[in-house]
Amino acid sequence: MQLHAWLETVPVRSDNDRPRLPDESHMTAKTVLNEAHRKLGARMVDFGGWDMPLNYGSQIEEHHAVRKAAGMFDVSHMTVVDLHGERVRDFLRRLLANSVDKLTEHGRALYACMLNARGGVIDDLIVYYLGEHFFRLVVNAATREKDLAWIRGQAAPFEVEVRVRDDMAMLAVQGPQAREKLIGLLAEVDRERMRAMGRFRAAAAQALHGVPLFVARTGYTGEDGFELMVDNGHAQLLWQALLDAGVQPAGLAARDTLRLEAGLNLYGQDMDENVTPWEAALGWTVALDDGRDFIGRDALEQQKAEGVPRRMVGLVLEGKGVLRHGQKVLTGVGEGEVLSGSYSPTLSMAIALARVPAGEPGQVRVDIRGREINARVVRPPFVRDGKPGEGI
């Protein structure tokens, strides 16, 4: 179900249990900031087995806050995995379709996919280079147990230690004012260094009062910003400091519309183990460098040689209606379907990511409750730097 559709369907939970990590119980897990969300009046929903804030009042206001100023998300449900060992780089060269050999500078980050032998996406993730024998991964929440089992199984022959960092919380601060909001909370010695940090870079820093942070200039909204990792014991202090600095709390609903406007995939909806990177508009994450035998390479090369049968496109609806997951997309070369669809708060129109047969689509229509409505094919992102993307 689409995140924004939960507004009318998901009951509000009222239990007040202590924060719970996924391996403590089969019940819904809680981040260390769960009570902070409830005190702000958040509407809580089950997302990937975690009790998470859907919104704090108005999804639209939270969305616009990120596009126009600064918003923050509790993303502590994401799984942080530290990898240690003399052969950790060799392991990642085998595990990932993108090449970690691009990571030579301390703190550099890389977006990559883990594939199965058929070339299907097990998960997408970010990997950080923190030392020749130390890399950090951040993987999705809903795929946690599957990912950990796969990573551990593949790591064993390389004698790589896999350490899950459930002791850390994670916050995303996003928006055109995110940098200045965060820098104002850092120790003086770190401010200029963080101001100069490039995209897909990470470094250690200290917040005021000596709170240690791992700061990465990454995100999932299409806006500039940072993802912050902090010890669970300091997470509440950091959250409150950001609140006091005027950063707007935002929930899953706004995160979904923001990432869709940015043309970013959602695992399990836009891609999964039956979809290759070629079919998910992620070909740019595949590095077919000479001599590197990564898992799924043979299948990707075969599919590329034979011709990729389907592709992901962006759609803008030209009539009245809302695009939703699962709707039939009719093209001149065959039938496809909407993957992620929503009303775009920034553009005030219906947008979607869809998977359609390869070839020139011609006139495209979407079947919305039996009505065929014209749609225009565009190349994501739908929104770039707060403004309409190319062709919108």
Comparison of pLDDT for 87 and 392, the residue scoring more: 87
Average pLDDT of the chain, as a whole number: 93
Q: And the tokens for 382?
A: 């739908």
Q: What is the pLDDT of residues 200-259, one digit of tens each?
A: 999 999 998 899 999 999 999 999 999 999 999 999 999 999 999 999 999 999 999 999
pLDDT, tens digit (0-9, with 9 covering 90-100), for 255-298: 999 999 999 999 999 999 999 999 999 999 999 998 899 999 99
Q: Do 288 and 315 fall within a single domain?
A: no
**Structural domain count, the chain:** 2
Range of the structural domain that residue 361 is part of: 309-392
The label of the residue with tokens 């929930």 reads 251
CA 264 to chain centre: 7
- Whether residues 142 and 239 share a domain: the answer is yes
Report residue 391's pLDDT band, with 50, 70 and 90 as the boundaries.
Answer: confident
Question: Which of 307, 325, 354 is the C-terminal boundary of a domain?
Answer: 307
Tokens 């011609």 sit at which residue? 362
So what's the pLDDT on residue 16?
30
Q: Write the CA distances from 39 to 27, 148, 169, integer angstroms.
A: 22, 33, 18
Whether residue 281 sits in one domain with residue 136: yes
Same domain, 259 and 356: no
What pTM was estimated for this model as a whole? 0.92
Is the omega angle on the peptide bond into residue 381 within 30 degrees of 0, that is, cis?
A: yes
What one-character-per-residue DSSP string does 164-207 give? Answer: E-TTEEEEEEESTTHHHHHHTTB-HHHHHHHHTPPTTBEEEEEB
Question: Is residue 325 within a helix (H) or strand (E), and if so which, with residue range?
Answer: none
368 and 263 part of one domain: no
Residue 26 is predicted with a pLDDT of: 54
Among residues 282, 307, 332, the one where a domain terminates is 307
User: Which of 253, 273, 307 is the last residue in one of the domains?
Assistant: 307
Q: Tell me how many helices (H) and strands (E) the chain has.
A: 9, 22
On whether both 233 and 117 belong to a single domain, the answer is yes
The number of beta carbons lying within 10 Å of the beta carbon of residue 271 is: 25
- As a whole number of angstroms, the distance between CA 89 and CA 129 comes to 9
* Residues forming a β-bridge with 205: 213
CA within 13 Å, CB half, 49: 18
Residue 179: partners with Cβ closer than 8 Å, 6 or more residues away: 194, 195, 224, 225, 226
Mean pLDDT of 347-357: 98
Please name which of 257, 202, 252 lies closest in space to residue 225, comparing C-alpha atoms: 202
Whether residues 223 and 363 fall in one domain: no
Retrieve residue 1's tokens.
């179900």
What CATH number has the domain bearing residue 364? 2.40.30.110
**pLDDT band for position 348 (50/70/90)?**
very high
What sign results for the dihedral spanned by CA atoms 52, 54, 57, 62?
positive
Q: Give yes or no for residue 14 having a pLDDT over 70.
A: no
Whether residues 89 and 8 fall in one domain: yes
Question: Domain of 216: which CATH number?
Answer: 3.30.1360.120
